[in-house]
């Protein structure tokens, strides 16, 4: 067998490789020139306007207070801490929003496929309305409802006992930390260990004998039982910090601001419309033959859903779901419009105070970029576990 | 021992006929009371509707005040909607801070733009002269809005607002982004590593950051990029930001189409001796774009909704104009009515576009669809 001679590298205009190289060099040189031009303009402008540059301002005192934060912050702390507060606020709203919109979106997506016409019509109109009105406008409307339509703090709504909803946000009871709670945590840990042992046992038995043992519900049960047992052994601590209504405010308990509620509700409602469509498309992508085959094998409806439909639907659902998660995280930056102190709004305050536009904006972009990469990385790992395993 | 099969034939008792599959009761049964869970859902949702509909009906229609009567609106507040807000502030919402006497100009300009948008949606107009029409209409739009000739008072771009601004931002960011997105998508698929890397970095960077940060960049950093002594209009800056943002998303949509194309198409084109650009122009793009036209319309819906974010960098598009219009003390209480009016405009536009994309999908599928 004779191998064809390796192609000779031709340094002529006719060689595709040569032209490719030339184009690339040209592109890089042009880009470098453009960047150099813009940079020189920027430096000239900054000199002319007396703008300082550099990231040293991060360690100067911020000089502004932040309305709400997970940890104590006062204006004498530096900008870096202020940014951390902003990041924690962004994550606080984004993570809760992710969970809530996934739950709501899944329910509505399934509802759109219901045989029940009433359910189908209502779910479809929910999806159409939430998806076709801009998020910012929805946020403005929720904010108006929160700050104007809700009753004032003197006469709050009480959806449940000891839960207050008013123009001052939502106040609710939270458990007080006591030593006995360690027992609960330890019990939960023991439950996790027991659950994984049970799962291993079920798997080994299945591999050895082919007899299937349920693993999901018993594992959950072990976890809950462990927690309850630990709680009882710890002396059943049950003290709650209950919010109390005084003349002008509500004190004690846990509390979230109307801005947080606005953003959380707005993001959840908007994103759940999109997630519903993703879920619906995923369920519809499983072909009808799969259902028929499952019925022919004599699987129960619950087994069919768990073993046949769900694994195949997940494959289709995960990639677009990831991009919806990324959208939610990025959309949480609209907090700046309703005055919730998230990353972007802290950064724009910092920008106004220090005038260092490039640094502030670049820093925010960097953080969002890392958040996006982290999320898509995590979702990719999960995606790999549900994808088809081929050789 | 043999059994006689010649036994007396005894038919089993006939089964009951199936419950009627026709008629109103069967329909109700099938659609609403099919099993206990569905019945529960039906009753739950019916109760929800019965609880929600009367107050909503009372508020939106029964006790609503249709005319711009502030006294009556205040009296009816909490009971009925004050649609008079739309009559009173409608022009401010639709045209923003554009001078009142000159508002026929944005009306005419946006009408022409809407007509061209609708025309562009029809397949029989998809021909090269459409590009020329877009150029002409944009020239007309800018000239009319800007003024400064033929006795038209010049109007600064910062006074433009409302619907024309929304339309302009959305359409420019798509029309200009489209060729850019094609180049980016082709670059991302290219064999040349440097060009591929540049495109990937640009696309992934833009898609990884929120639009707000891009708009902040456009309004704070872009002026620093300009040579000293020159300034760049805020509208143009925002347009640049939105265009680059849309281009990155559109590039990914187009890449989807490029990837779906069988490799044999390019190989066949190579064997015919076509050059790279000939292949892209005549073989690859016509097929790839056809596959992703619905997704392109979806991107356009996204861009249309995203224009609302320019409110945050102080341009008064529809969303910003309604915040501006209802700022005064008399009408502040009736914010929600004004916002609902704007929401309805967005909804009608986006809903029409999504229906259009579905129609287009069935129209363009003729080649591959099984009858």
Domain boundary among A207, A238, A269: A238
Evaluate whether residue A202 is within a structural domain. Answer: yes
For residue A372, give the chain B residue with the closest CA.
B208
Evaluate whether residue A9 is within a structural domain. Answer: no
Residue B309 has pLDDT above 80, yes or no: yes
Concatenate the DSSP letters of all residues of B81-105 into one string. Answer: -BTHHHHHHHHHHHHTTS-GGGTHH
Residue A12 has pLDDT above 50, yes or no: yes
Cα separation, A380 vs A370, whole angstroms: 15
Chain A residues in contact with B38 (beta carbon < 8 A): 114-116
Who among B194, B213, B319 is closest to A137 (CB)? B319
Interface touch A144/B213, C-beta < 8 Å:
no
- Over residues A85-126, the pLDDT tens digits come to 999 999 999 999 999 999 999 999 988 988 888 889 999 999
Cα separation, B82 vs A278, whole angstroms: 38
For residue B216, give the chain A residue with the closest CA.
A361
Domains contained in chain A, number: 2
Chain A residues in contact with B194 (beta carbon < 8 A): 24-25, 27-28
- Over residues A126-170, the pLDDT tens digits come to 999 999 999 999 999 999 888 888 888 777 888 777 788 888 888
Who among B42, B207, B343 is closest to A137 (CB)? B343
Do A349 and A381 lie in one domain? The reply is yes
Q: Mention every residue, 6+ apart, whose C-beta is less than 8 A from residue B18.
A: none
Q: What does pLDDT average to over chain B? A: 84
Do A273 and A357 lie in one domain? The reply is yes
Confidence of residue A7 (pLDDT cuts 50, 70, 90): low
Could you give the percent of chain B with pLDDT greater than 90? 19
Evaluate whether residue A108 is within a structural domain. Answer: yes
Nearest Cα of chain A lies from the Cα of B306 at a distance, in angstroms, of 7
Interface touch A115/B195, C-beta < 8 Å:
no
Do A264 and A347 lie in one domain? The reply is yes
Interface touch A361/B311, C-beta < 8 Å:
no
Kindly give the pairing relationship between strand A244-245 and strand A164-166.
Answer: unpaired
Residue A175 tokens read as 């458990």
Cα separation, A340 vs A336, whole angstroms: 6
Q: Name the B residues in 348-367 with CB < 8 Å from any A CB.
A: 350-351, 354
Chain B residues in contact with A44 (beta carbon < 8 A): 227-228
Do A159 and A209 lie in one domain? The reply is no
Do A269 and A141 lie in one domain? The reply is yes
Do A374 and A279 lie in one domain? The reply is yes
Q: Name the B residues in 29-88 with CB < 8 Å from any A CB.
A: 30-32, 34, 38, 41-42, 45-46
Candidate ranges A295-299, B8-12, B93-97, B261-265; pick with highest mean pLDDT: A295-299
Q: What is the ipTM of this complex?
A: 0.85
Nearest Cα of chain A lies from the Cα of B323 at a distance, in angstroms, of 9
Chain B residues in contact with A128 (beta carbon < 8 A): 351
CB of B308 within 8 Å of any CB in chain A?
A: yes
Longest dimension (CA), chain B: 118
How much is the CA Rg of chain B, to the nearest whole Å? 29
Do A271 and A352 lie in one domain? The reply is yes
Taking alpha carbons only, the member of B208, B214, B290, B227 closest to residue B253 is: B290
CB of B213 within 8 Å of any CB in chain A?
A: yes
For residue A120, give the chain B residue with the closest CA.
B31
Chain A residues in contact with B198 (beta carbon < 8 A): 27, 31
Do A259 and A284 lie in one domain? The reply is yes
pTM: 0.85
> Which CATH class name applies to B84-364?
mainly alpha
Q: Mention every residue, 6+ apart, whose C-beta is less than 8 A from residue B205.
A: A365, A369, B248
CATH number of domain containing A318: 1.10.3720.10
Who among B192, B209, B308 is closest to A137 (CB)? B308
**What is the pLDDT, as a whole number, of residue A277?**
92
Domain boundary among A212, A238, A264: A238
- Over residues B58-72, the pLDDT tens digits come to 888 887 777 777 777
Evaluate whether residue A3 is within a structural domain. Answer: no
Chain B residues in contact with A150 (beta carbon < 8 A): none
Evaluate whether residue A36 is within a structural domain. Answer: no
Of the two residues B295 and B73, the one the predictor is more confident about is B295
Do A345 and A204 lie in one domain? The reply is no
Confidence of residue A332 (pLDDT cuts 50, 70, 90): very high
Q: Give the A:B interface size as CB pairs under 8 Å.
A: 153
Query: CB of A372 within 8 A of CB of A328?
Result: no
CB of B120 within 8 Å of any CB in chain A?
A: no
CB of B298 within 8 Å of any CB in chain A?
A: no
Domain boundary among A238, A262, A285: A238
Q: What b/e sequence results for A93-125 when a residue is b if at least 16 CB atoms lie within 10 Å of its CB, and e otherwise?
A: bbeebbebbbebbbebbebbebebebbeebbee
Chain B residues in contact with A138 (beta carbon < 8 A): 343
Evaluate whether residue A113 is within a structural domain. Answer: yes
Cα separation, B7 vs A51, whole angstroms: 109
Q: Where are the domains of chain B?
A: 84-364
Q: Could you list the residue range(s) of the whole structural domain that residue A220 is in?
A: 177-238
- Over residues A250-274, the pLDDT tens digits come to 777 778 888 999 999 999 999 999 9
Confidence of residue B89 (pLDDT cuts 50, 70, 90): confident
Query: CB of B322 within 8 A of CB of B162?
Result: no
């Amino acid at each position: 067998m004779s191998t064809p001679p390796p192609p000779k590298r031709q340094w002529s205009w006719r060689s595709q490789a040569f032209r490719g190289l030339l184009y690339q060099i040209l592109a890089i040189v042009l880009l470098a020139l453009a960047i150099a031009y813009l940079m020189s303009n920027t430096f000239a402008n900054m000199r002319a306007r007396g703008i300082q540059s550099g990231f040293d301002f991060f360690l100067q005192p911020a000089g502004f207070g932040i309305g709400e934060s997970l940890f104590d912050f006062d204006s004498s702390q530096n900008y870096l801490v202020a940014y951390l507060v902003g990041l924690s606020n962004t994550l606080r709203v984004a993570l809760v929003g992710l969970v809530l919109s996934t739950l709501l979106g899944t329910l509505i997506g399934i509802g759109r496929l219901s045989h029940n016409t009433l359910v189908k019509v209502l779910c479809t109109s929910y999806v159409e309305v939430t998806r076709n009105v801009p998020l910012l406008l929805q946020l403005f409307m929720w904010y108006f409802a929160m700050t104007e339509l809700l009753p004032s703090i003197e006469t709050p709504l009480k959806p449940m006992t000891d839960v207050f909803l008013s123009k001052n946000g939502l106040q609710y009871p939270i458990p007080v930390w006591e030593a006995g709670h360690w027992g609960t945590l330890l019990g939960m840990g023991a439950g996790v260990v027991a659950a994984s042992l049970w799962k291993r046992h079920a798997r080994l038995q299945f591999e050895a004998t082919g007899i299937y043992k349920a693993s999901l519900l018993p594992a959950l049960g072990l976890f809950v039982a462990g927690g309850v047992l630990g709680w009882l052994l710890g002396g059943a601590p049950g003290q709650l910090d209950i919010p109390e209504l005084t003349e002008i405010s509500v004190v004690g308990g846990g509390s979230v601001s109307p801005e947080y509620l606005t953003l959380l509700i707005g993001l959840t409602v908007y994103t759940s419309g999109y997630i519903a469509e993703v879920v619906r498309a995923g369920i519809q992508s499983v072909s009808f033959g799969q259902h028929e085959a499952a019925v022919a094998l004599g699987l129960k409806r619950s087994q069919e859903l768990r073993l046949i439909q769900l694994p195949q639907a997940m494959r289709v659902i995960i990639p677009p779901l990831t991009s919806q998660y990324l959208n939610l995280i990025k959309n949480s930056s609209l907090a700046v419009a309703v005055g919730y102190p998230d990353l972007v709004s802290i950064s724009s305050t910092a920008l106004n105070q220090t005038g260092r536009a490039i640094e502030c904006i670049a820093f925010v972009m960097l953080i969002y970029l890392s958040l996006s990469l982290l999320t898509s990385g995590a979702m990719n790992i999960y995606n790999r576990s549900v994808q088809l395993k081929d050789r | 021992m043999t059994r006689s099969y010649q036994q007396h034939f005894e038919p089993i008792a006939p089964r009951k006929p199936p419950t009627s599959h026709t008629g109103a009761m069967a329909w109700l049964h099938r659609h609403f009371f099919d099993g206990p869970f569905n019945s529960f859902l039906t009753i739950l949702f019916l109760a929800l509707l019965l609880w929600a509909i009367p107050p909503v009906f009372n508020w939106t229609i029964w006790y609503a005040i249709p005319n711009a009567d502030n006294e009556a609106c205040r009296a009816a507040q909490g009971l009925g909607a004050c649609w008079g807000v739309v009559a009173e502030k409608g022009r401010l919402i639709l045209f923003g801070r554009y001078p009142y006497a000159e508002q026929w100009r944005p009306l005419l300009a946006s009408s022409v733009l809407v007509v061209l948008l609708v025309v562009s949606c029809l397949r029989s107009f998809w021909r090269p002269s459409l590009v020329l029409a877009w150029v002409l209409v944009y020239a007309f739009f800018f000239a009319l809005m800007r003024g400064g000739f033929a006795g038209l008072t010049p109007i600064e771009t910062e006074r433009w607002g409302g619907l024309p601004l929304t339309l302009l931002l959305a359409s420019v960011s798509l029309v200009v982004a489209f060729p850019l997105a094609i180049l980016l998508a082709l670059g991302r698929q290219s064999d040349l590593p440097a060009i591929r890397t540049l495109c990937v970095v640009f696309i992934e960077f833009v898609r990884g950051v929120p639009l707000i940060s891009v708009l902040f960049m456009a309004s704070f950093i872009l002026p620093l990029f300009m040579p000293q002594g020159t300034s760049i209009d805020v509208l143009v800056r925002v347009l640049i930001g939105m265009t680059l943002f849309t281009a990155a998303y559109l590039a990914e949509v187009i890449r989807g189409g490029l990837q779906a194309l069988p490799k044999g198409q390019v190989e066949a084109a190579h064997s015919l001796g076509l050059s790279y650009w000939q292949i892209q122009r005549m073989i690859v793009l016509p097929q790839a774009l056809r596959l992703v036209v619905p997704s392109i319309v979806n991107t356009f819906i996204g861009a249309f909704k995203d224009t609302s974010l320019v409110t945050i960098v102080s341009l008064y598009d529809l969303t910003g104009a309604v915040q501006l219009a209802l700022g005064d003390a008399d009408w502040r209480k009736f914010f929600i009515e004004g916002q609902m009016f704007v929401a309805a405009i967005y909804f009608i536009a986006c809903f029409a576009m999504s229906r259009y994309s579905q129609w287009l999908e069935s129209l363009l599928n003729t080649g591959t669809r099984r009858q």
